[in-house]
Amino acid sequence: MSEKICPDCRQRRPLHEIFCQTAREDGSACGWPLTDVPIHVPGPPVPNGAPAEGSVCVNGHFLNPGDLLCGLCGGDARGSEAGTPGDTTEEPQAPQEIEQVTVIQGWEVVSRLAGGGTTECFRVAGREGATGILTLYPPGPLADPAVDAAVDALAPAVATKVLARGEYEGRRFEVVEAADGRTFADAAISAGDSEGFRRVVRALGAGLHALSRAGLRHRDLRPNAIVPGPEDAWTICRFGFARLTSHDLDTASPHELSRYSAPELLVGAVSPASDWWSLGVILLEKLTQGACFEGVSDQAFLMDVVANGAHIPAALGEEARLLLRGLLARDRNVRWQWEDVEAWSMGEPRAAPDEGKPADDAEAGSIALGGRTFRVPSKYALAAGRGEHWAEARDQLLRGVITT
């Protein structure tokens, strides 16, 4: 049975828990955030020299069977004989490209794409000079033939052409066409280039609209899931967590959460509006060159946007801010989708939904953290997400200080 292993107390926890509920000796809960902890699937040792169940990376994080790199820190895998879980005496290592040649079903791994949680992405080379991006999904989720058929029907104009699908050491994989291995993570966009920005947004919006009309809910849209297509267009890939449904609102167990996850995904809701939220976060990240996430963990960002909405810097300009306010509306029923985005791209914008978020919260109580006093919840959440403040903020949460 799939589960998660808390990095703090080392106890096995069910997948639905967002914070570890392991009871400590004093009766309090552990409280460690589990949203980014990789799913652990018990099983027999994996052959061919892959990490066995219960092994760890060089920084002591638990690995799933078949993991080539750690989903938390990007460090290399090491066998269980190299250290025990929790042994973190070695210095943390930055994500590295694959040093040794690895061949997955005939596809040679060239380098690793940064980011992706427990799903690993690699640039690969195949026979006769073919190049692509290989996505290696975590153990557990099974392929949905209906989703695969829907994706193939939309290729190559909307969905990226899939060159191969298969299984590698108990994990599903797929290879999509990518001439130079680039993704949207490598693209540079600017709100100052109004025409170019509108063109990119329109292309991405048209792709999401086509997915929605086909009944596909991506649920894992991120920069590495968007690759260059024909004629300066962009196509969408990485459908391993996608759902095919004819309903505007459906339910499914939440998969791994990321900074791009819509608020409703936290409670297992499936909606086409969720993918438009993800597009909004992607554009916010690109326009701010990642500054919106600097020093802030994904957990803190998710908590902040759920409680207070996304912060959109005024420096981006009113045109970009209007688009982002529409895409990042917490209420999925008023969130912008294709008709609104298309009108915006044609210079005929509609009014963005009003979140009713106050600019200040002077009537609220105050709370001290890291030697500073906070009255605005969003600013407190961002400060709490920093590594140097996380332990103090968690203690405040467990003692009821935040609720008070």
Overall pTM > 0.85: no
60 burial type by CB count under 10 A (0-12 exposed, 13-18 middle, 19+ buried): buried
Q: Flag whether pLDDT at 147 surpasses 70.
A: yes
* 103-177 shares its CATH topology with 191-345: no
Please give, one letter per residue, the 3-state secondary structure of the chain: CCEEECCCCCCEECCCCCECCCECCCCCECCCECCCCCEECCCCCCCCCCCCCCCEECCCCECCCCCCECCCCCCEEECHHHCCCCCCCCCCCCCCCCCCCCEECCEEEEEECCCCCCCEEEEEECHHHCEEEEEECCCCCCCCHHHHHHHHHHCCCCECCEEEEEEECCEEEEEEECCCCCCHHHCCCCCCCHHHHHHHHHHHHHHHHHHHHCCEECCCCCHHHEEECHHHCEEECCCCCCEECCCCCEECCCCCCCCCCCHHHHHCEECHHHHHHHHHHHHHHHHCCCHHHCCCCHHHHHHHHHHHCCCCCHHHCHHHHHHHHHHCCCCCCCCCCHHHHHHHHCCCCCCCCCCCCCCCCCCCCCEEECCEEECCHHHHHHHHCCHHHHHHHHHHHHCCCCCC
Going from N- to C-terminal start, the domains of the chain cover 1-93, 103-177, 191-345, 367-398
Listed range (62-66, 207-211, 257-261, 294-298) with the worst mean pLDDT: 62-66
Residue listed under structure tokens 């061949």: 103
Over residues 171-181, mean pLDDT: 90
Q: What is the pLDDT of residue 72?
A: 56
Over residues 82-98, mean pLDDT: 37
Q: What is the pLDDT of residue 113?
A: 85
Listed range (77-91, 140-154, 329-343) with the worst mean pLDDT: 77-91
**pLDDT (tens digit, 9 = 90+) per residue, 58-81?**
666 666 655 666 655 556 665 433
- Domain 103-177 -> CATH class: alpha beta
CA angle 222, 112, 165 (to 5 degrees): 75
CA distances from 324 to 264, 311, 312, 337, 378 (A): 18, 10, 7, 11, 18
Report the CATH superfamily, name and number, of domain 191-345.
Transferase(Phosphotransferase) domain 1 (1.10.510.10)
